[in-house]
Chain A
Amino acid sequence: MRACKESVHIMEPKPFDAKDFVTFDLSDGTIRSPRRERLSLLPVEILEALTPSPQLADLIQGWGRQHGEALAKQFHKSDRDTGIEILADHLGGTIAALGLGHLEVELWGDALILSVSTASQIPESKGGKALLSSFLTGYLHGLGPYEFTVLPLGQQSDRALFFAGNPKAVRRLMTAVEKGEPPISALESLRRGNQR
């Protein structure tokens, strides 16, 4: 019996498509996402003025989780191991389409760093940092299988840096920063610990 390789259908995750990412229904007065989420266009100043709270963080994480789960569903249909590019494409595309900034995925050694341009000024504000870190945390939770915690590291050049790691690593990083160590230097200390 001869194996028929042509019968194996390999599905690649689709690249991020901003078309119909947001649909305006003016007759109904609603703005919806493809997942039928109801959205609202608000000035950036309102987002920046958000006061971080555990309840708000939970809401934003749940929102980000839905977006991460949508991408994860595409992975399950794929027979290939997807490259990191697809995460940068979808997560970056989503953040950009929401008007929250231009996101890039960076690897510092094994550390996963998410950098967002500060052109929109959202990542620089207190409310913006909380919004982005909560959304990114929820997104990675939805992507699975790890429950990353995203921590703002600070600003470098014109980009705000967010560290996505194990909650245990995040706690250690925070402790080092509270002791006065610069965030990026503390991140390097974590790497050295891994190398021992």
Chain B
Amino acid sequence: MMTSQQRRNRLENLLERVQRNRQSLTGLTRKTPLAPDPEPVHEETLEESKITATDISQVRKDASQAPHQEALEEVVEEISEDDVEFVDDETDSLPSMESFDDLDRHTEDQPTRVVHTSSIFPPEAQVHKEQEEEAAKTGRFSKKRQSQEPLRKEPLSVSSSLEEAPRVFAPQPRAGTDVARVEGELRSKSYSLAAVLERAWEYGTKP
């Protein structure tokens, strides 16, 4: 670990090298009069790199007033590379296999809950799943599905209007029947239920 004194010495050496380079660069410029004038930007850069004794004393002052710097460096050195997680951009959003293992362990700790529901009353989740599947196929929800009435959960009652309710067929002439007699019955006889049943009961009883 680098001590504060060593760090300061290293900084001073670095500043001296900068000053030497600056002096050699200035001499080179003087030896080449035909060379174009240095661009202002370049001069500014040199000016910025000029470090005076005042600057060095200021650095020393700052270093002495920042005792927490050493503690910070110690903390950084204690962090090993094994503790650093390198994240790959492509796999950043995918959970690792260890995450799945953790999930399994988490669910194993909870009691198993199995819910049986009749297909007549699919839970809302099932309906949503169907909508999602439909959307995946067609790219949009159909209006019919969205406007579907809520599923009924009370017992169903079947009713029919029986629009084509059976009706009594008047005596119809058929093969082997006496048309004149049937028409006569239509005109003269009563078709009350009691009378019809009575005549039907006697039909064919005489030899």
In which size bucket is the chain A interface? 35 or more
Cβ-based interface call for B193 (8 A): yes
Cβ-based interface call for B36 (8 A): no
Query: How many residues in B have their beta carbons less than 8 Å from beta carbons of A?
Result: 44
Cβ-based interface call for B196 (8 A): yes
Nearest residue (CB) in B for A94 is B166
Known contacts A84-B168, A93-B162, A93-B166, A111 near B193 by CB under 8 Å: no
The residues in B between 107 and 155 inclusive whose CB is less than 8 angstroms from any CB of A are 118, 120, 155
In the complex, chain A residues whose CB is within 8 Å of the CB of B177: 108-109, 188, 191
Q: A90-113, CB under 8 A of B: which get 1 and which 0?
A: 011100110000111111111110
Known contacts A86-B193, A106-B169, A26 near B204 by CB under 8 Å: no
CB of A159 to closest CB in B, whole Å: 11
Cβ-based interface call for A16 (8 A): yes
Q: Enumerate chain A interface residues (CB-CB to B < 8 A).
A: 15-16, 18-27, 75, 81-89, 91-93, 96-97, 102-112, 143, 146, 148, 164-166, 168-169, 172-173, 184-185, 187-188, 190-191, 193-194, 196
Cβ-based interface call for B167 (8 A): yes
Docked complex Cα distance between A84 and B178 (Å) = 21
CB of B177 to closest CB in A, whole Å: 6
In the complex, chain B residues whose CB is within 8 Å of the CB of A112: 196-197, 200, 203
Nearest residue (CB) in A for B159 is A19
Known contacts A23-B155, A164-B200, A193 near B207 by CB under 8 Å: yes
In the complex, chain B residues whose CB is within 8 Å of the CB of A23: 155, 157-158
CB of B55 to closest CB in A, whole Å: 90
CB of A144 to closest CB in B, whole Å: 9
- Picked from A26, A82, A106, A194, the residue with its CB within 8 Å of the CB of B156 is A26
